[in-house]
Structure 1
Amino acid sequence: MMKLHDSFKQTLLRAFCLSSAVICLTASSSAWALFSDDEARKAILDLRKSLATTQLDLQGQIEKLKADNAELRGKVEELEKQTEEIGNSQKTYYQDLDNRLGNFEPRSITIEGVTGTVQPGEKKAYDESLKAFQAGNLKKADDGFTAFTRKYPNSPYLPLALYWGGNSKYANKDYAGAISQLQTLIKKYPNHPRIAAAMVTLGNCQLESGNKAAAKKTFSDIIAKYPDTDAAKDAQQLLSATK
C-alpha cells in the first residue's frame, strides 16, 4: 500500500512539472510574440515618420523649383521686353537718321513702283500738301501739289502729286484743271496702281463738266480694264446713273 502511494505521488509530481514546463513555455512564447508586435509597430511608425519627412522635403524642393522657375520666367520676359524696346529704339533712330539725311542729300527711292531720286526738301513739300488735303484744306492742298509738280517734274512722288492734285481740283470744282492733271497722270504712268481710281475721278469731272459722252467712255474703259475692282463697281454705278 505504501509503495502504491509513493508511486502515485511520483506520477503527480511528474505531471505537475510537465504542466509547469508547458505553462512556462507558453508564457515565454506570448512574451516573445508581444515583443515582436511592438517592434513591428515601432518600425512602421518610424517608416511613416521618415516618409512624411521625405515628402515634406520633396514638397519644399518642388515649391522652391516653382518659385525659381517663376523668377526665371519673369527675367526672360523682362529681357524680351528690353530687347524689343532696344529694337524699336534702333529702328526709330535709323528712321530718324534716314529722314535727317534725306533733308541734306539726294536719295534714290521707289514709291508705289516708281523709282527716282528725291531731292532735299522734296518729301517734306509732298507731305505738307497731303496733310492739307487730309485736313480738308483743299485750296492749300491744290496750290501745294501744283507747285510740287512744277518744281519736281522727275520726282518719284510725281504720280501721287498728280493724283491728289487732281482730286483737290475736283473738290474745288476746278474740273478743267482736274481733267488736265488726271489725264497727264494716266498718259505718263499708265501702269501706276492709282490709275483706276484716277479714272473714276476723271469720269466724274467729265460728267460735272457736261461732257456725258466722255464720262460714259471713261467709265466703260474702267469696267473693261479693271474688272472685279472697287473702281469698276463705282464706274458701273455711275454709268448706270448717266443713262
Structure 2
Amino acid sequence: MSVYSMPLRAAVLATTLSLSALFAAPAQAFSDDEARRAILELREQIKQLTEQNRQARLQLADQLETIQHEMASMRGQMEQLNMKAELQRRANQDKSGSTTDTKVADPQEQAAYEAAMELFRGGKYKEAAGSLATFIQTYPNSALTPEARFYRGSSMYASKDFKGSIQGLQGLIKASPDDPRAPDALLVIAASQIELNDMAGAKTSLQKIVKDYPQANAAETAKSRLKLLQ
C-alpha cells in the first residue's frame, strides 16, 4: 500500500460512515436544507481529499524522477572514474614496456613525449593534452605520434572535453586503423558519446570494436557495454 493512500482511505471511510449516518437518521432529524448542506459539505471534503491525493502522487513522481536522475549521474561519474583508472593503468604499462615497435632515435623527441606523459600520469590532463598536441605538431612522423594521439584524446576525455576527445581519437583511427590502441580509442570515443547523450553513436562505436577488432581485449568490454545500452 502506498504511503499517501492511507490517509485518503481513512478519510473516505469517515466520509462513508458520515453518509451512512446521514441517511440512517430519522427523516425528521434533518430539514431538506440541512440535508443538502451536509451533502455539499461532504462532497467538498471528498473533492479536497481527491486533490490532496493527486498532489501527493505528483510529489512522489517528482521525487522518484529526481532519484533516477541522481542515480544516472552517479553511474556516469563511476564510469568516468573507471575509465580514468584504466587509462592510467595503460599509461603505466606503456611506460614499463612501450607498444611502439620502432626505436626512437632522437633523445629530444623521446624526452618531449615522456614529459607530456608524466603530466598525464600525474592527473594534469589539460596540461597533458596541450603538451601532447605540441608533440604531434612538432613530430608528425614520429613512431610515437599514434601513441601521443591516443593519450591526447584520453586526456581530453579525462578533462571532460568530450567533443575534442572524439575528434582527436577519430583522427587516430583514420590515420592508423591497425594501431594496437585503435580498439581502446573506440572505447574512449564511446564513453565520450555516452557523456554527450549520443547513445546511437556509442552503440556504433562499440559495435565497430566487436566487428573490426574481435580479438582485442576491448572487444569483451564493448560487448558488456552494449548489453547495458540495450
Tell me which of the two structures has the higher relative contact order, counting C-alpha pairs closer than 8 angstroms and 6 or more residues apart.
2
Number of matched pairs: 133
- Who is 1:123 aligned against? 110
Measure the CA separation in 2 of the matches of 1:229 and 1:156: 21
Question: Are 2:160 and 1:173 equivalent residues in the alignment?
Answer: yes
Measure the CA separation in 1 of the matches of 2:105 and 2:190: 32
Match for residue 139 of structure 1 among 100, 115, 126? 126
Per-residue CA deviations over 1:12-69 (Å, capped at 9, x if unaligned) read xxxxxxxxxxxxxxxxxxxxxxxxxxxxxxxxxxxxxxxxxxxxxxxxxxxxxxxxxx
- Who is 2:100 aligned against? 112
* Counterpart residue identity of residue 118, structure 2: K
Structure 1 stretches of 4+ moved >4 Å: 115-120
Match for residue 175 of structure 2 among 188, 203, 219? 188
- Who is 1:164 aligned against? 151
* Counterpart residue identity of residue 234, structure 1: T
Match for residue 200 of structure 1 among 187, 209, 212? 187
Measure the CA separation in 2 of the matches of 1:237 and 1:201: 15
Please, what TM-score do these two structures have when normalized by structure 2?
0.54
Percent same amino acid among aligned pairs?
34
Change (3 A) 1:118 1:177: farther
Measure the CA separation in 2 of the matches of 1:163 and 1:143: 13
Deviation at 1:157, TM superposition (A): 0.8
Structure 1, unaligned stretches of length 5 or more? Answer: 1-109
Structure 2, unaligned stretches of length 5 or more? Answer: 1-97
Question: Are 2:222 and 1:229 equivalent residues in the alignment?
Answer: no
Measure the CA separation in 2 of the matches of 1:229 and 1:195: 10
Deviation at 1:204, TM superposition (A): 0.9
Contact 2:104 / 2:110 at 8 angstroms: preserved in 1? no
Please, what TM-score do these two structures have when normalized by structure 1?
0.51
- 1:1-243 correspondence to structure 2 within 5 Å: 112-113=100-101, 115=102, 118-119=105-106, 121-243=108-230
Per-residue CA deviations over 1:68-102 (Å, capped at 9, x if unaligned) read xxxxxxxxxxxxxxxxxxxxxxxxxxxxxxxxxxx
Change (3 A) 1:159 1:128: same
- Who is 2:43 aligned against? none
